[in-house]
Structure 1
Amino acid sequence: MYFVYLILYTIMVKVSKYIVELLPIIYSYERINVIYIL
């Protein structure tokens, strides 16, 4: 059971790092889109 939690934890950490790296890119892309639309 502990092993399953460990695997889930590592997956969550990797996903969170990936999201943290993607967020600024998505944010800037949306800003560019908004500016382009305006």
Structure 2
Amino acid sequence: MKGDTMHTVTASLVLEHDRVSSLDGQHAVPPVAASWGSS
């Protein structure tokens, strides 16, 4: 049971990360590239 819960939480985090990444990609430079550019 605990493993199923962890899998669901992980999947939710991955989906949220993908959604945020796609939003960022439309109007902003990725954080890594931004940090490289400022150094």
Q: Please give the TM-score of this superposition, normalised by the length of structure 1.
A: 0.58
Deviations 1:3-34 (A, max 9, x none): 00000000001110000000122334433xx6
Q: 1:3-14 to 2 correspondence within 5 Å?
A: 3-14=1-12
* RMSD, aligned α-carbons: 1.9
Task: Say how many residue pairs are matched.
Answer: 30
Gaps of 5+ in 1: none
Q: Which has the larger share of helix? A: 1
Q: Please give the TM-score of this superposition, normalised by the length of structure 2.
A: 0.57
Identity %, equivalent residues: 3
* Partner of residue 27 from structure 1, selected from 25, 28, 33: 25
Gaps of 5+ in 2: 35-39
